[in-house]
Structures are given as structure tokens and as C-alpha cells.
Amino acid sequence: MESVRVELGERSYDIIIGEGNLDSLGERSRPFGFSRAAIISNPTVFDIYGERALFSLGKSGLSCDTVLIPDGESYKDFSWCYHILSELLKNRHDRKSCLFALGGGVIGDITGFAASLYMRGISFVQIPTTLLAQVDSSVGGKTGVNHPAGKNMIGSFYQPKLVLIDTSTLKTLPQREVLCGMAEVLKYGVIKDAELFDFMERRCADLLSLKEDAVAYIVKRSCEIKADVVSEDEKESGLREILNYGHTVGHAIETETSYSKYLHGEAVAIGMCSAARLAVELGLMKHEDAERIKSVVEAYGLPSSVPSGTDINALIGHMKLDKKAVSGNIKFVLPEKIGRVKIVKGVSESTIKKALQG
């Protein structure tokens, strides 16, 4: 078992990483003194892990309700958040209740947002079951829902009480979901840790087969990097912006395709390669480094370019509405080399189009 601490003063919390951690959920929740619990999940995940979570919480003396929402990014909207809130009110949850997010990034985001709203804020615990959620979205307190105008446009910064990662849940994960998580790990390598990128490049076969030691390393290292960044800049006023590498283009692709064609990690993979090409166009990065990023992305079976036929002008329009944009001025996180990035604004639309068209 490994532990990583997110240091945020009175709101600090632990990320506990290891196999079989789900069975210790109740024991690890007891010290917080929650009055009641509600597990928020989707039917697919709950069918596999729901009983174990309920049993563990029940063994610790917590009465627990369950709220299930459909599986998929398209259901991460305010209507389903409202449904969660309505169920909590119907079952008379109070301010000492805790929500347990059992699932991937969609479940974690919407659960955290509901927790931030219910009675002006109650506790929640992240139990991420996808690789993407374990290495990225469960850590850092970004919660929210999507809007037709863009991804995560409605949300809050709201930290969990605990992140409990059971790496054995990855064994039941569809391969496509595993690959999406690898995209976020590659992101950490490009923005902050060349050694992690080297590891991903070198141990690709082991990681694709979920070899235990390799997976344990990338999960812990990713959590360490994100914890360090979040501890320094919780609300994305500076350093934390580097975590958006690949996400400016990625979110635009998700929005343009109505969250129906690409999973989040796939869109981010396209965004990372597009950002690397843009960095080359601007003279920030060597062509061979950008090609190396593209090669490793493709080695993990991830898409590396904007698909032909995509409306590039529409993508740029979505990027102008991105949360990070100011007065329509698109902000990019661009690599200078593997392991270091910089924030760039004021890029001409013609240069952006050239990079997106590959």
C-alpha cells in the first residue's frame, strides 16, 4: 500500500493506493464521523463493486443509500446532478452525510459537484475505478458538469475527504478505458517528468497488460505530480494550468462531437499531439520531440490527429469559449521539451489551423 498527501492546510487529504483497498472503505471512513452515506455510481460499476462497498460501509456502522446514474459523459449534466440532490433530500441526508463516488471521472465529477451544493457543502470520498480517474480526475477537487456550450462549464473547486484507489479494479476495465488513462499519464510525463515519459515508452507492453509493478508505479507517480501541483496552486491561478496540456483541443473535440465519438483520454491524446505540432510551428519544440510524443501516443493505441472532415473553425470557436480563455483569447499549454511546458497566448488562427490539420 502507498500513500500520497495533498497538502491544503485544513483541507489536506490522503490518496491511498493499493490492491484490495475497497474492502477497507468503511474502516478508513470511520474516523471522519459521517452520520450516513450515499454511494453514487453507474449500473455497470455498481454491479461489480457495489456490494463490496456497501458491505464495508455497513460493517463500520454506516447506513448507506445508493444513487445510480447512466454510464457516459453525455449524462454528466445538471439534470442528473439535480437527480442526485433530490434523492439525498428524499432520503433525508444531513450535513454530516458523505457521498462516495464509486466509478470513473464522470461519477467523481458529478458527485463532487453535488456534494459541494447539498446543504451548502457536505463531505465526499473518491473511489476511482478507472485508470484515468485514479491518475487524474479524482485528485485535486475539480468538480462539475457539462453544458451544451462546453465541457465542465458549470462546477466548483471542492476537495474530497479521501481518495481511495484500489488498483485491482483496473482488471475489470475495458481496454479502451485503460488506454484513456494512459493518455493522462503521458501528459504528466510531458509536462513535468521526462523519466516518467521514458518509463511509459520503455514499459509499454507491460503497462498494456497491466503488469502490477508497472501500474503501481505510474499511478503513484501521477498522483505525486498532481498532488504537488494542486498543493501549490489549488484553484488554477498559475502553475496548475500546466495540467491542461492537451485539454484545450481535447475539450473542443469532445464538445464538437457531443461527447459521443471520443472518450476523454482519446480526445486529450489528440490534443497533446496537436499542441506538440503547434509548439513546433512556433519554434518552441524540436520536431523530433513532437514526433516522439506522437509515436508513444500511437503505441498505446490512441488517436494522434484531428480526424479528417472535422470543422476546424468550429473547434477554434469552442476553444474561444474554453474556461481558460480570456476575452476569446485562446490559452495553450505547449511543450518546450519532454518534461517542460509553457503557457502561450496570442497564437494566430492560421497557425492554430495548420497545427490542427497536421
CA distance 63 to 160: 20
Among 247, 294, 318, 324, the one annotated catalytic = 247
264 is catalytic: yes
The cell numbers describing 77, all together, are: 449534466
Among 76, 93, 244, 254, the one annotated catalytic = 244
User: Whats the size of the chain, residue-wise?
Assistant: 358
**Alpha-helix runs per DSSP H in the chain:** 25-29, 43-59, 78-90, 105-117, 131-132, 175-192, 194-202, 204-208, 212-232, 247-256, 264-281, 287-299, 312-320, 349-356
83 is catalytic: no
Among 36, 93, 142, 221, the one annotated catalytic = 142
The cell numbers describing 290, all together, are: 513532437
CA distance 215 to 170: 9
User: What are the residues whose beta carbons fall under 8 Å from the beta carbon of 7, sequence distance 6 or more?
Assistant: 227, 231
C-beta neighbour count of 32 within 10 angstroms? 12
226 is catalytic: yes
254 is catalytic: no
Contact 107, 101 (CB under 8 A): yes
120 is catalytic: yes
Which residue from 192, 241, 243, 201 is spatially nearest to 221, judged by alpha carbons? 192
Among 10, 90, 92, 120, the one annotated catalytic = 120
Among 264, 277, 294, 331, the one annotated catalytic = 264
Among 236, 254, 256, 281, the one annotated catalytic = 236
146 is catalytic: no
CA distance 145 to 277: 30
User: What are the residues whose beta carbons fall under 8 Å from the beta carbon of 91, sequence distance 6 or more?
Assistant: 38, 65
184 is catalytic: yes
247 is catalytic: yes
Among 73, 184, 266, 281, the one annotated catalytic = 184
CA triple 146-147-150, angle to 5 deg: 85
342 is catalytic: no
CA distance 225 to 15: 12
Among 240, 294, 318, 324, the one annotated catalytic = 240
CA distance 122 to 1: 28
Contact 77, 106 (CB under 8 A): no
The amino acid at residue 334 is L
CA triple 76-81-87, angle to 5 deg: 140
- Residues with a catalytic annotation lie at 120, 142, 184, 226, 236, 240, 244, 247, 251, 264
